[in-house]
Amino acid sequence: MKLRSAVYAALAICGACSMGAEVAFGRLAAICFGSAQPAWGVLIASVLCAAAGGSWFGGARATSTNPASDLGSLCLLGTCFLSLAAALSLAIRSLTFAAAQSLNPLCYGVAFAGLLGAAALPAGALAAAFPLSVATLESGRARASVGWPLAVSTLGGVVGALITGLWVLPKLSSTGGLILLGGAAFVAGALVIWALDRREAGGRQAYLALMAASLLLGSAVLARGRAAPPGTVYEGESVYNYVRVAQEDNHLYLYLNEALGLHSVDLRDRVLTGSVWDLFLLAPLFNRAPYSTGDVSSVCILGLAGGTVALQYIKVYGQANIVGVELDPQVAAIAEQYFNLSDPRLRVVTSDARAFLQHTPQLFDVILIDAYRPPYVPPHLTTAEFFRLAKARLSSPGVVAINVGRVVGESELVDALARTMASQYPAVYVIDMPREDAGMSNSLVVATTEPTTMWDWAENAAAVSDPALRAVVQRVAGHVRRFSSYGSALTDDKAPVEQIVHRMVWRYLAHGTAWVQGAQQP
């Protein structure tokens, strides 16, 4: 009875560790490689292949004279692999951070291969637990209840996935989560070995337990002693993101996930940043002339992050009330702590952007969308149905604007979003970032609820009196165009945004700077 109880407990723990590790590796993939579905799909496929191999190996060992001893050993081996994975996760993060700075495809490839290997090894070891437990329990009446081990393992997996996703990752990070799961696998192995008759428990288990405990302790010490990147003021993980606040050039910057995406910068004593956030200030000027800064009374920002755009609007459109919508509550808290979002004209709402628009009865003069997880746009914020919803929440006149990341010389993603907006709005405009260095850049796509022309833009821009806004108008001179190409729109049923981004980035990585410069030629 003691052995049966230990086997069931170990099986539940192995199921919890297996699913918990899958959730943790999914978070690590999002941190290092963005929220791309292909990356997640390849990761799941690798884990399932490893699990299939582990099941086969466990079935082969099930015919041995002492499958319970093998079960305990494999649980301890799972501890070793999870501990190594925790240590590898730190190296993978460092490698992808370096790759993000140089856009080096080799670094990305090595890091992704390391991620797949780190995920596959513990998955294979833990998957062997099921056939070994069946072999241990299958005697007498247990033959009639062979489904119980699978049920216990599955229930353990459910508990592991929920606890890891809802509590472990936000509290301990993906690396800390892997260490905790490794500790749980160690307990599972120790339980089975403790329940065995002393004659059945060989000396190899003692050596394996010592190795597993050493690796577990070593990975914990390594994770605790890891130095944050230079200039880090805050570093942590939330339910949705790896979050880092860094001080550079006497300013604070907010980075999320794979370090490729700079999401906010503090303003302090300035209004403009020299980046794409400045372009958002121009959106109301595309309304039918005459239209001035004093006509803007309500603004909705979907994707508040650190609140850079919100603070710019407060300084330029001082009379406007602003609602900032942020999906991640921890990002909103960090923004309030580090980026000074205490102005009474700004109300922060924690919600998904589309869900907020569906449920709010409020109308806005301006809706700004900056909800990237670079270089990806959440697909549900790119479709005709979404822009129709946004139009229903706009006053007349009103504008909606979305920040679109792109590779210099590429316009496929910009065109796809502009076409989709043109299916719902009478006029669409594109502002390209003036600085066109080889590499990544941005465009702002703006749509108006009323029919407008470039003459309206020109007249409103010429009448600007605010010095900061006038500086942005002058900077984009020659970079504003009316979008006139029409075609199929992205829809809720079909919005292949990730595939568009993949093609764009692949062409850049495959052909490099020479291709970008060639693409810019008339």
CATH code of the domain containing 288 = 3.40.50.150
408 against 425, higher pLDDT: 425
Decide if 400 is inside a domain. yes
Q: Are both 437 and 315 inside the same structural domain?
A: yes
- Please state the rounded mean pLDDT for residues 389-415: 87
In 199-320, beta strands by DSSP E: 232-237, 242-248, 251-256, 261-265, 298-302
Q: How many domains, the chain?
A: 2
Task: Flag whether pLDDT at 220 surpasses 80.
Answer: yes
| Domain end point (choices 204, 224, 244) | 224
- Print the domain residue range for 75: 2-224
Task: Flag whether pLDDT at 369 surpasses 80.
Answer: yes
Render pLDDT for 476-515 as a digit per residue (tens, 0 to 9). 998 999 998 777 888 888 877 777 777 776 766 665 543 3
| Domain end point (choices 224, 256, 283) | 224
4's enclosing H/E stretch is helix 2-33
Contact 436, 408 (CB under 8 A): yes
Decide if 241 is inside a domain. no
Q: Are both 202 and 301 inside the same structural domain?
A: no
pLDDT at 308: 92
Q: How confident is the model at residue 239 (pLDDT cuts 50, 70, 90)?
A: confident
- Please state the rounded mean pLDDT for residues 271-275: 87
CATH of the domain at 127: 1.20.1250
Q: How confident is the model at residue 286 (pLDDT cuts 50, 70, 90)?
A: very high
pLDDT at 450: 95
pLDDT at 154: 66
- Please state the rounded mean pLDDT for residues 137-148: 51
**Neighbouring-strand partners of residue 244:** 235, 255
Decide if 240 is inside a domain. no
Q: Are both 185 and 122 inside the same structural domain?
A: yes
Q: How confident is the model at residue 12 (pLDDT cuts 50, 70, 90)?
A: confident
d(CA 49, CA 42): 10
Q: Are both 298 and 218 inside the same structural domain?
A: no
pLDDT at 514: 39
Q: In a 3-state reduction of DSSP, which class is residue 251?
A: strand
Decide if 235 is inside a domain. no
Decide if 493 is inside a domain. yes
Instruction: Residue 395: count other Cβ atoms within 10 Å of its Cβ.
Output: 14
Q: Are both 173 and 306 inside the same structural domain?
A: no
Burial 486-500 (b: 16+ CB within 10 A, else e): eeebbeeeebebbeb
Q: Are both 182 and 301 inside the same structural domain?
A: no
pLDDT at 511: 56
Q: Are both 110 and 210 inside the same structural domain?
A: yes
Decide if 259 is inside a domain. no
Q: Are both 195 and 283 inside the same structural domain?
A: no
Residue 176 tokens, joined:
């800390």
501's enclosing H/E stretch is helix 497-519
Q: Are both 363 and 278 inside the same structural domain?
A: yes
Decide if 267 is inside a domain. no
311 against 25, higher pLDDT: 311
Cα 479-480-484 angle, rounded to 5 deg = 125
| Domain end point (choices 224, 254, 288) | 224
